[in-house]
Amino acid sequence: LHHVADVTAVLREVQRGLAPGGRLLIADLEEYDDAAFWQSLGAQWPGFRTHDLSAWLRRAGFEKIRIESGVSAATDRPNSFLAEAVRAS
């Protein structure tokens, strides 16, 4: 998602394409304050705060949202997360 300019529009479109009860999985990076790192990736976003992603998913019509944070093996890189959400019936 960090390469997408309008994350909420993408989430709404994914939700529209899923059958009721369908699952969305997202693996991405948590917010990280290193402009050079994100620029090297061509990213539109400097990672995400998980509470923001949760709110965007809910507004896009998802429920049963679960986000688990991981820890980067490198201390100079952002942590990852895995988000799971279900399209509301």
Span 67-82, pLDDT tens digits: 999 877 777 788 899 9
Confidence class for position 27, pLDDT limits 50, 70, 90: very high
- pLDDT score of 76: 76
Instruction: Of 31, 18, 27, give the one whose Cα is nearest residue 62.
Output: 18
pLDDT: is 74 or 86 the higher one?
A: 86
List, in order, residues 6 or more apart from 4 with CB less than 8 Å away.
10, 44, 45
Would the CA dihedral through 17, 19, 25, 30 be positive or negative?
A: positive
